[in-house]
Structure 1
Amino acid sequence: MKILIISQYFWPESFKINDICLGLQEKGHDVSILTGIPNYPKGEFFEGYNFGSKDEMWNGMKIYRAKLLPRGKGGISLFLNYFSFVFFAWLKIYRIKEKFDRILVYEPSPVTVGIPAINASRKFNAPYYFWVQDLWPESLQSAGGINNKFVLSVFDKITKLIYKKSEKVLVQSEGFKEYILKQGISAEKIIFYPNTTEDFYKKEEKISKIESLLPTGFKIMFAGNLGEAQSLNTLIEAAEILNKKSIDLKWIFLGDGRNREFLQNLIKEKNLEKNVFLLGSFPATEMPHFFASADALILSLKSDKIFALTIPSKLQSYLACGKPILASLNGEGAKIVNQSNSGFSSPAEDANVLAENVEKLYRLSPDERQKMGENAIDYFKNNFDRKTLLEKLEQILNFK
């Protein structure tokens, strides 16, 4: 079958949809991708790309590049980024000569990625399936800080239109269902379809190349976007609390984002340069080797309704790598950590309870921490296995 994936983000940007495309191709489907010009997360075009970048091939798949304006530092630049993709992707569809049987839309913010899908569905006479990663307009309000009732109303109408014209609405978290039902979408149309993670996320052994980059001591590792939504100041506050207790902890941040400079300043302000390390970005394929050198993996989100409903996609990657997990968040993500017995969770933005959990984990025996890691792998295999979820996606798209 011929499948068109529509996603504003795609390789060489690091998003889970990259692996879903590879997985569908592995299962014998002919996959093409309509996407933008890579500029996430730094807000600048990747090296080798510009506003006029052409279509290209990746692992035997055709990538159609629609023009867009880069994200910049946020604000008005971000909105221009969103709407420029909608405009140019809509036009790009008319230049695509292929025919498609199905269309899969991948939607981390913004929801507007669904607008070109409406056009593609009409042109190719193919149904589109909308995979919701972020709830809109809730995400616009919670993560974007937009409270204008007119703006929120407009995006609510756009979201409902996109959902209603889709064949099915896939949700990455069970917690999304109630919100979407309240937007007038029928229960029969909504399918729980969680994220899996790439095959290379698995338990690895320590390697000297990675070890040489890391400080000595009990290592707590965060990997991913250094953004506002992650409430990373909560982690720094917990680090400060534990530093005063003279516990030899090393907090290691892998990744980049708009809050990197803020973090650097906060670390300096709290005199934590010997405890907290911002190592920058590394290829996703290297993450399991970094995780192998960690004593615990940590994830965090702000205290907000939408984040409580979300399963952070990095959680699946953490589980697959078999390390104890510290979760500073509410809702669905915390529930998974607790159900899996893979670590400890604390309420979002509560640095004191997080610090207590870190110390509790630190004082466990190596065997107890190893058991948590084993529990993590078991839970991943039972709930987020890549092969199983790819087969489920085929069933949703009516290929089986």
Structure 2
Amino acid sequence: MRLLLWSQYFWPENFPINEIASELVRAGVSVTVLTGKPNYPDGRFFQGYKGIGILHEHFMGASVVRIPILPRGGGSAARLALNYISFVLSGYLCAPIALRRHQFDAIFVYAPSPLIQALPALFLSFLKRAPMTLWVQDLWPDALKATGHVKSPCLLRLVEAAVRYIYRQTDLILIQSEAFRAPVERLANHPDKIRYFPNLAKVTTSNGLFSTTASRLASTIKESFSVVFAGNVGRAQSVETIVEAAYYLRDARNIKIFVVGSGSRLEWLKAEKERLALKNIVLAGRFPASDMPPILDAASALLVTLGDDPTVSLTVPSKIQGFLARGRPIIACLNGEGARIIKEAEAGLVCPSGNSVELAQAILNLAGMSDEEREQFGINAKCYFMDRFELTRRIRELIDHLAQMKRTDNK
């Protein structure tokens, strides 16, 4: 199969689609990735990249074609809008040129925000006569409301019209959370082409091939009862809840919260740490994916947080699969589908989104448990992951989805 994988975000940005691409190649699929220039989450282009021009690279056996894009900047609504729109326009103008000599059997769109990135992918689907699958990671326009980036009712209605068009023109829609089904059906008006396919991950090992900085951080993490938050430090992650919980725990001398990552709220987090003199928060910075296994494995517990919003609660953060794979206890401060999975897996402790008092208490409760009790949480997490979310076991299911679909009559 000749597959075009379309995603605004891709390696060296740290997204699950990176592992999906490499596993598809390993399964014998010829993969071409169409993506932008990497600038997530800090909003600046990674070293060695610039916004203009078309760039050709290779990643784990896949061909990578990068088209021009404007960087996210500091994460303001205006800069994000320019970032999103620039990829859409570049997709219409540059992708047909960059891929003019390519033919594809299928197009697969990995669709976290912005969902409108699928518009030029649909255009290319028409040009190449290749059916398109959309893997929905965020609900639009609901996600825009939840983050507060867009408040205009008129603009939200315009986005909803675009999303309705995308859903109805797409041949197959995969949803990463079962809670997405009803909202997607409402706009797609075609329930038969909607199928559940969760985010997946692999059980990766470091094999000693990690940086000295990561090794030092892992050693530091092991010195205390450590709660590790890893990933994007943004608005959706409700980092203020982490700060407030750390404040309540400031006298618990052996408990520390390590924040490993970066994002639009990192500077605010630094300022709050200084203002409140919080010695129990350690801001470790961002590490490449290859350095994360020893860091996560050193943690006493892994922390996932999300904001208190009905739309956000429908989403299963992709880090949950990654955390389950590590076999460590999980503390989940979130509502909805993510909370349900942690409870069902019996993988740790769950408290409501935005409740810093209960988050602090959950950390204290876990710290007060025996080693055997905490180890059982980790065992449960790993077993649940292997049964439901292990990438190599389910990659054939994805390939079957891509291979079996037919073009809809309305194209």
Cα deviation, 1:45-86, whole Å, max 9, x if unaligned, reads 111111234222223322111111111112212111111111
Residue 209 of structure 1 deviates from its aligned partner by 4.0
Q: Which has the higher contact order (CA 8 A, sep 6+)?
A: 2
Cα deviation, 1:93-120, whole Å, max 9, x if unaligned, reads 3211110000000111001111111111
What is aligned with 2:306?
301
Residue 399 of structure 1 deviates from its aligned partner by 5.7
RMSD, matched Cα:
1.9
Residue 392 of structure 1 deviates from its aligned partner by 1.0
Distance 1:142 1:185 in 2: 24
What is aligned with 1:90?
92
Indicate if the aligned counterparts of 2:313 and 2:338 stay in contact, CA closer than 8 A: yes
What is aligned with 1:322?
327
Indicate if the aligned counterparts of 2:203 and 2:390 stay in contact, CA closer than 8 A: no
What is aligned with 1:290?
295
What is aligned with 2:31?
31
Indicate if the aligned counterparts of 1:170 and 1:192 stay in contact, CA closer than 8 A: yes
Distance 2:281 2:95 in 1: 47
Q: Is there any run of 5+ residues in structure 2 with no aligned partner, and where? A: 406-411
| Larger mean Cα displacement after TM superposition, 313-322 or 49-58 | 49-58
Cα deviation, 1:137-176, whole Å, max 9, x if unaligned, reads 0011111432211101100010011111111111100111
Q: 1:285/1:185 Cα in 2 relative to 1: closer, same or farther (>3 Å)?
A: farther
Q: 1:303/1:180 Cα in 2 relative to 1: closer, same or farther (>3 Å)?
A: same
What is aligned with 1:230?
237
Residue 208 of structure 1 deviates from its aligned partner by 5.5
Distance 2:117 2:195 in 1: 19
Cα deviation, 1:240-264, whole Å, max 9, x if unaligned, reads 11224x3521110000011111111
What is aligned with 2:254?
248
Give SS of 1:183's match. helix
Indicate if the aligned counterparts of 2:227 and 2:302 stay in contact, CA closer than 8 A: yes
Give SS of 2:223's match. coil
What is aligned with 1:136?
140
Distance 2:149 2:84 in 1: 16
Alignment partner of 1:367 out of 372, 386, 403: 372
What is aligned with 1:78?
80
1:1-400 aligned at under 5 Å gives the runs 1-53=1-53, 54-73=55-74, 74-95=76-97, 96=99, 97-200=101-204, 209-214=216-221, 216-244=223-251, 246-272=252-278, 274-398=279-403
Distance 2:59 2:188 in 1: 39
| Larger mean Cα displacement after TM superposition, 284-293 or 118-127 | 284-293
Distance 1:201 1:143 in 2: 34
Give SS of 1:377's match. helix
Q: Is there any run of 5+ residues in structure 1 with no aligned partner, and where? A: none
Paired residue type of 1:262: W
Give SS of 1:253's match. strand
TM-score, normalised with respect to structure 2: 0.93
Indicate if the aligned counterparts of 2:106 and 2:403 stay in contact, CA closer than 8 A: no
Q: 1:203/1:63 Cα in 2 relative to 1: closer, same or farther (>3 Å)?
A: closer
Between the aligned residues of both structures, percent identity stands at 37
Q: 1:89/1:201 Cα in 2 relative to 1: closer, same or farther (>3 Å)?
A: farther
TM-score, normalised with respect to structure 1: 0.95
Residue 215 of structure 1 deviates from its aligned partner by 7.1
Distance 2:6 2:342 in 1: 31
| Larger mean Cα displacement after TM superposition, 106-115 or 137-146 | 137-146
Distance 2:60 2:188 in 1: 40
Distance 1:72 1:17 in 2: 23
Size of the alignment, in residue pairs? 397
Distance 1:16 1:175 in 2: 20
Cα deviation, 1:286-340, whole Å, max 9, x if unaligned, reads 2120112110000100000121000010000100000000000000000011111
Distance 2:48 2:148 in 1: 30
Indicate if the aligned counterparts of 1:318 and 1:325 stay in contact, CA closer than 8 A: yes
Indicate if the aligned counterparts of 2:219 and 2:298 stay in contact, CA closer than 8 A: no
Residue 212 of structure 1 deviates from its aligned partner by 3.8
Q: 1:72/1:291 Cα in 2 relative to 1: closer, same or farther (>3 Å)?
A: same
Distance 2:340 2:82 in 1: 36
